[in-house]
Structure 1
Amino acid sequence: MIEFIKGYINYINPEYIVVENNGIGYQVFAPNPFAFNKSDDQLITIYTYHYVREDTLALYGFQTREERALFVKLLNVSGIGPKGGLAILASGQPGQVVRAIEHEDEKFLVKFPGVGKKTARQMILDLKGKLHDLVPNIQHDLFNPNDNTLADPSSSVALDEAIEALKVLGYAEREIKKIIPELLQETMTTDQYIKKALQKLLK
Structure 2
Amino acid sequence: MIAYIKGNITYIFDDSVIVDVQGVGYEIMCANPFVFQSSLHQEVLIHTYHYVREDMQVLYGFKNQDQKSLFTKLLQVSGIGPKGALAILGAVNVGDFIAAVEREDDKFLTSFPGIGKKTARQVILDLKGKLTTMLSLDAQPEILNSESTAVSPNGLNEAQEALKALGYSDREIKSIMPKLQKENIKNTDEIIRKALGLLVKN
The TM-score, its normalising length taken from structure 2, stands at: 0.71
Instruction: Tell me the CA shift for residue 182 of structure 1.
Output: 3.0
Give 1:94 shift. 1.1
SS in 1 for 2:198: coil
For 1:33, the equivalent position in structure 2 comes to 33
Provide closer, same or farther for how the CA distance between residues 63 and 77 of structure 1 changes in structure 2, counting only shifts above 3 A.
same
Q: Deviations over 1:103-126 (max 9, x none)?
A: 100100011111110100000000
What are the ranges of 5 or more consecutive residues in structure 1 without an aligned counterpart? 141-157, 167-177, 193-203
8 Å Cα contact 1:52/1:58 also seen in 2 = yes
Instruction: Decide whether the 8 Å contact of 1:14 with 1:164 is kept in 2.
Output: no
Letter in structure 1 aligned against 2:98: V
Name 1:125's counterpart in structure 2: 125
How many residue pairs match? The answer is 163
Identify if the C-alpha distance between structure 1 residues 58 and 99 changes in structure 2 by more than 3 Å, giving closer, same or farther. Answer: same
Contact 2:66 2:94 survives alignment (8 Å): no
Q: Any unmatched runs of 5+ in structure 2?
A: 143-166, 176-187
* Structure 1 range deviating more: 120-129 or 86-95: 86-95
1:7-46 to structure 2, matched below 5 A, reads 7-37=7-37, 38-40=39-41, 42-46=42-46
CA distance in 1, matches of 2:174, 2:84: 14
Deviations, residues 160-188 of structure 1 (Å, cap 9, x unaligned): 1347759xxxxxxxxxxx76953563134
SS of equivalent residue, structure 2 residue 118: helix
- Measure the CA separation in 1 of the matches of 2:193 and 2:4: 37
Bigger relative contact order, structure 1 or 2, given CA contacts below 8 A and separation 6+? 1
**Structure 1 runs of 4+ with >6 Å offset:** none
**Comparing both structures, which one devotes a greater share of its residues to helix?**
2
Amino acid at match of 2:170: E
- Aligned pair in 2 of structure 1 residues 32, 189: CA closer, same or farther (>3 Å)? farther
CA distance in 2: counterparts of 1:92 and 1:71, whole angstroms: 12
In the alignment, which residue of structure 2 is the partner of 1:173? none
Matches within 5 A, 1:1-203: 1-37=1-37, 38-40=39-41, 42-91=42-91, 93-135=93-135, 136-138=137-139, 159-162=168-171, 182=193, 185-188=196-199
